[in-house]
């Protein structure tokens, strides 16, 4: 974890902040409250998550075959989450017809 945080934060603080960020993102996605902010935070978080594939290649890729290790698979499975959030983001950007309240 120190490699990913560039030793700027202690490991315990990094884990706590990551847990808080992921919880806030999840609450935003589930409730729709501050959805655009939650989506922006999610995509920024995913950029950080996927950076481990390049920063820590020995831990993420099997050296004998072009296949991910268990840790690499754990990160790559987030592609499904990215696809789901892209669908939510597209739906959020579509203009909704404004219907006046009935009299």
In this structure, is residue 10 part of a structural domain? yes
pLDDT tens profile 48-67:
999 888 888 888 888 887 78
In a domain, 103, yes or no: no
In a domain, 99, yes or no: no
Cβ distance 67 to 53 under 8 Å?
A: no
Residue 24 scores a pLDDT above 80: yes
Q: List all residues 6 or more positions away from 60 whose beta carbon is below 8 Å from its beta carbon.
A: 52, 53, 68, 69, 71, 72, 75
Query: For residues 47 and 102, which has the higher predicted lDDT (pLDDT)?
Result: 47
Q: pLDDT confidence of 11, banded at 50, 70, 90?
A: confident
As given in the structure block, the two tokens for residue 33 are 């409250």
Residue 42 lies in a domain: yes
Range of the domain at 83: 2-93
Please state the domain count of the chain.
1
18 falls within a domain: yes
Query: Does the pTM of the predicted model rise above 0.85?
Result: no
The answer to the question of residue 62 being in a domain is: yes
* pLDDT value at residue 4: 66
Between 23 and 99, whose confidence is greater?
A: 23
Residue 37 domain flag:
yes
Q: Is residue 29 in a domain?
A: yes
pLDDT of 102 above 60: yes
């Amino acid at each position: 974890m120190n490699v990913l945080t560039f030793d700027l934060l202690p490991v315990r603080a990094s884990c706590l902040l990551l847990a808080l960020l992921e919880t806030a993102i999840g609450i935003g996605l589930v409730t729709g409250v501050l959805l655009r902010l939650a989506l922006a935070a999610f995509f920024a978080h995913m950029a950080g998550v996927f950076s481990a594939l390049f920063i820590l290649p020995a831990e993420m890729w099997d050296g004998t075959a072009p296949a991910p290790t268990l840790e690499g698979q754990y990160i790559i499975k987030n592609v499904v989450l990215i696809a789901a959030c892209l669908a939510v983001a597209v739906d959020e950007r579509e203009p909704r017809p404004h219907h006046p309240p009935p009299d």
